[in-house]
């Protein structure tokens, strides 16, 4: 056993309706996130260095090394038969995370400025004997109508709220989810991330989760189709022109 971690998303979503005791009274300790967002830009989204490790059941899985963690980054890509606006409304709702994000069993929005900007606390239950992880993340959405796509970036902000007893706080998360309207009744979802969850985790758990996280998350979307509950909904940032913060 060595100090590595299973890539557990935010979750991501980076990540439901079951409330946590004391959430309403949480004091949010905001800090300067500039360095983290800059680090995300150079860590996530670069197409170089990816190695395809699996292509099965409609999901392609890629991995690569990064400079921010000894654990490999992952990327999963899948085409899903779905309406573009419906899919964005679904993925942008932090309360939806437990319905599809791998290992996420509870999520709560701590603060939401608008549809494109929220802080989320999620609890992830990894396989035994690994302790539960909790993630505090800041999520931002961007929409580019001229490219028929929108994407979400998320970073961990572990000091935003006090640590929870019995949980290991995830110290580092970079996530990017890109949704592209293929204009044929399908959308393409690219789910990319890297994480350093902290604590002691067996090698076999870390190696398993590198591929299982994007695989299971995308398969949940494809097979369970939880996004169908969001038909007819449209987030506010989709009604505007290109947005870049």
CATH number at residue 159: 3.30.530.20
Q: What is the DSSP letter of 2?
A: B
Say if 7 falls within a structural domain. no
Say if 231 falls within a structural domain. yes
Say if 12 falls within a structural domain. no
Say if 8 falls within a structural domain. no
Say if 161 falls within a structural domain. yes
Among candidate residues 207, 219, 191, 188, the one with its CA nearest the CA of residue 59: 219
Please report the DSSP string for 100-139 in residue order.
TSTTEEEEEEEEEEETTEEEEEEEE-PSTTSPPEEEEEEE
pTM for the complete prediction?
A: 0.84
**pLDDT by residue, tens only, the chain of 245 residues:** 433 334 333 333 333 222 332 333 356 777 778 888 888 887 887 788 999 999 999 999 999 998 888 889 999 999 999 999 999 999 999 999 999 999 999 999 999 999 999 999 999 988 777 889 999 999 999 999 999 999 999 999 999 999 989 899 999 899 999 999 999 999 999 999 998 877 777 766 777 888 999 999 999 999 999 999 999 999 999 875 554 44
Say if 244 falls within a structural domain. no
Say if 19 falls within a structural domain. no
Say if 145 falls within a structural domain. yes
Instruction: Give the domain extent around 127.
Output: 31-239
Task: Determine the Cα angle at 124 with ends 118 and 127, to 5°.
Answer: 160
Which residues lie across from 122 on neighbouring strands? Answer: 107, 135
Cβ-Cβ contacts under 8 Å for 223 (sequence gap 6 or more): none
Q: How far apart are CA 70 and CA 196, in angstroms?
A: 8
Report the number of distinct structural domains present in the chain: 1
């Amino acid at each position: 056993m060595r100090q590595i971690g299973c890539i557990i998303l935010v979750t991501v979503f980076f990540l439901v309706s079951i409330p946590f005791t004391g959430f309403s009274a949480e004091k949010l300790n905001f800090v300067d996130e500039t360095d983290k967002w800059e680090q995300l830009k150079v860590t996530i989204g670069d197409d170089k260095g990816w190695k395809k490790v699996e292509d099965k059941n409609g999901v392609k899985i890629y991995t690569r090394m990064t400079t921010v963690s000894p654990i490999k980054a992952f990327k999963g890509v899948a085409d899903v038969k779905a309406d573009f606006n419906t899919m964005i409304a679904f993925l942008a709702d932090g309360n939806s995370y437990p319905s599809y994000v791998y290992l996420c069993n509870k999520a709560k929005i701590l603060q939401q400025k608008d549809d494109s900007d929220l802080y989320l606390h999620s609890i992830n239950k990894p396989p035994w004997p690994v302790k539960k992880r909790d993630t505090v993340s800041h999520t931002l959405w961007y929409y580019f109508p001229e490219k028929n796509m929108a994407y979400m970036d998320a970073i961990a902000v572990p000091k935003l709220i006090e640590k929870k007893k019995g949980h290991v706080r995830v110290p580092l998360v970079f996530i990017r989810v890109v949704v592209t309207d293929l204009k044929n009744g399908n959308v393409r979802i690219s789910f990319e991330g890297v994480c350093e969850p902290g604590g002691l985790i067996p090698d076999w758990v870390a190696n398993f989760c590198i591929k299982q996280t994007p695989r299971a998350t995308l398969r949940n979307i494809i097979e369970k189709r939880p996004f169908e509950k969001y038909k007819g909904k449209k987030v506010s940032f989709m009604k505007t022109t290109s947005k870049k913060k």
